Chains A and B, each alone.
Chain A
Amino acid sequence: MVYVIRRLLQAVFLALVMSFLVFTGIFAVGNPVDILIDPEATQAERVRLIAQLGLDRPFHEQYFVFLGNVLQGDFGNSFVYNRPALGLILERMPATLELAFAAIVIAVVLGIPLGMYAGLRPGTAGSQTVMAGSILGFSVPNFWQAIMLIMIFAVMLGWFPVSGRGQVGEFMGIRSSLFTVNGLQHMALPAINLAIGHLALVIRLARSGTQEVKAQDFIRFARAKGLSEPRIVLVHLLRNILIPIVTLVGMSFGGLIAFAVVTESIFAWPGMGKLIIDSIRQLDRPVVVAYLIVIVVIFIILNLLVDLLYSLIDPRIRLDGAKQ
């Protein structure tokens, strides 16, 4: 329990630091007046906004105004859509989250068994294929994979639609396109695209973990006890390789949200990623700032969750961490 509280405090501190960095970043790059106020605003608007955002006040006061606004969720209005920036982002978030979720599921559900197989039976044709495939998986740039996927599966074979998000269904109060067939069809290619890079990593991690663990004495001891092979692999081996994989998956969820930027652009998926790219191109700065803060918060929460999950799986951490 102490451990949890300590981590929470660290997280809050980190968030504060990040917000300060973002703020200084805006300040350092140019005139915040230009950044936060639409260049096309009228003079009267400018005066009002300058007063409201406190841009005529000293630096540290500005920061507190900024922080205050942030905590209330006010990032100003998007130049392009003329609506609150934060609202725009939160609107698009579910689409990105469901995509990232689908990608993680694919990466883990396929990756762990494939990696374990490659680790348990090295040298076989199957495992060499898996390993060669994994090198391709993380070498091939994301965006090119997406193009190839579209070209082969959507254009040539016609199995999946080329772009866009499908119909949204509802399940247990959650609305997501995962719950309709049409939605799944639209999600298939982008989710696979997003998943491939991480699938390759999970495979490699599972394989190296398996190779390392299977040589350990306790596996031999388990055999000496007369346990069946399935039990040895699924209980003794798997539990031990899960630890680094969980860390990777946790960390990469954040990376997935980032890489979604590319996938969403190509597949015209209406998520946060596409929004940020468009915003950057269109110089819609309030949205960019809001996105940064949101990402920071997501990351911090993710790190916290991973740490907690980690301590659940590895009892050594749980019990010793409390002493530190």
Chain B
Amino acid sequence: MSDISVPPAAQPLEPTPPPERPVWRIIRDFRRSPLALFGLALLVVIVAAAFLAPWITPQNPYDLRSLSIMDSRLAPGEVGFSGTSFWLGTDGQGRDMFSAILYGLRISLMVGVIACTSALILGLTLGLVAAYFGGRIDTLVMRLVDLHLSFPPILVALILLAILGRGLENIIFALIIVQWATFARMARATALSERGREYIEAAQSLGLSRTRILFGHLLPNCLPPMMVLYTVEIASAIALEATLSFLGVGLPATQPSLGLLIANGFQFVLSGQYWISVFPGIALLLLIVAINLVGDRLRDVLNPRNIT
């Protein structure tokens, strides 16, 4: 007579393989999308080119002495007065477009990264603090954030710059003010959902100090969605800076960003000399698209439900 509750002939269950570390999974899933890889490659090329600009460009577009008005408005590929050929043509003042674009990318990237990173740090800190301490601090921060976010970024930046005037520091400051709220809101939302989890309770019951819990435990777990937001916002920052420079309230003429180049070239479009506006625009476009492709895929990868 056999007893159903005792399994003499049951096979042992197969051991399940250990789960792979999250970082590897993220990298593996990211690699699955050819579009994202393309975006990443493009991004690397652009950043490298911008970084190496002083060494690889034939001309320093900021150095007024190296410009010759005789070379102005040459079409792409034409040879200039001095004998050098300008691959992408020249602008109204004789600047080599290729050099100007690379230097412009450099500025755009620098402004974008600095502003966005600072906004990230500021927003992350405020969001975490608001979520962790709750109560009045939370309400205060959130009201501020809501107020901030109900206005379109460009308007806020415009007004700020109208008051502060042009200049590199002012632009970066304006961008930080525009962007911190998005980071703060995301940080707070993530922190709130993490705060209720058990590992936080465990840390608390171990008597760890609040600072340690906040920065050692809560922070690392809030980072993934923040990273996705970061990539999106960098693209935003770069686009916003370009727009502001285009409108004439951004970077001054001594530090020509891509926006200013495009603005300068606008007047020539009507007479068919398209390259002065179009090429910087394409460069800007490629940069932003590359960032967005990478960010898009990163977002899908970090949220497992979306994997195709």
Contact = CB atoms under 8 A, between A and B. Distances in A.
- Judge A-B direct contact (beta carbons within 8 Å): yes
B284 A141 contact: yes
B243 A143 contact: yes
Contacts, number: 99
A292 B156 CA distance: 10
B246 interface: yes
A265 interface: yes
B150 A303 contact: yes
Nearest to A299: B150
Interface stretch (B42-50, B83-91, B264-272): B264-272
A144 to B, nearest CB: 4
A178 to B, nearest CB: 24
Contact of B281 (A148, A276, A280): A148
A141 B288 contact: yes
A139 interface: yes
Interface string B268-297: 011010100110010011001100110010
B132 to A, nearest CB: 26
Contacts of B154: 258-259, 261-262
B289 A281 contact: no
Q: Which of A139, A148, A155, A262 has the most CB of B within 10 A?
A: A139
Contacts of B293: 135
Contacts of B161: 280
Given A155-B269, A262-B243, A280-B249, A144 B262 contact: yes
A288 interface: yes
B152 A281 contact: no
Nearest to B235: A139
A295 B289 CA distance: 31
Q: Which of A143, A148, A265, A303 has the most CB of B within 10 A?
A: A143
Q: Which of A122, A162, A277 has the most CB of B within 10 A?
A: A277
B228 interface: no
B158 A147 contact: no
Nearest to A155: B270
Interface residues of A, number: 38
Contacts of A122: 308
B235 A255 contact: no
A136 interface: yes
Contacts of B239: 139, 141-142
Contacts of B281: 141, 144, 147-148
A39 to B, nearest CB: 16
Given A29-B163, A155-B270, A303-B150, A280 B288 contact: no
B151 A141 contact: no
Given A141-B239, A280-B162, A261 B247 contact: yes
Nearest to B262: A144
24 contacts: A122-B308, A135-B292, A136-B285, A138-B292, A139-B288, A139-B289, A141-B239, A141-B243, A141-B284, A141-B288, A144-B242, A144-B262, A151-B274, A162-B270, A257-B152, A258-B152, A259-B152, A261-B158, A276-B158, A277-B158, A280-B249, A281-B249, A295-B155, A299-B151
The list of the 9 closest CB pairs from A to B, nearest first, reads A258-B152, A144-B281, A280-B162, A255-B152, A139-B288, A258-B155, A141-B239, A139-B289, A143-B246
Interface of B: 147, 150-152, 154-155, 158-159, 161-163, 235, 239, 242-243, 246-249, 259, 262, 266, 269-270, 272, 274, 277-278, 281, 284-285, 288-289, 292-293, 296, 308
Given A17-B147, A143-B247, 13 more contacts: A29-B163, A122-B308, A140-B285, A141-B243, A141-B259, A144-B281, A151-B277, A155-B272, A254-B152, A258-B151, A258-B155, A259-B154, A276-B158
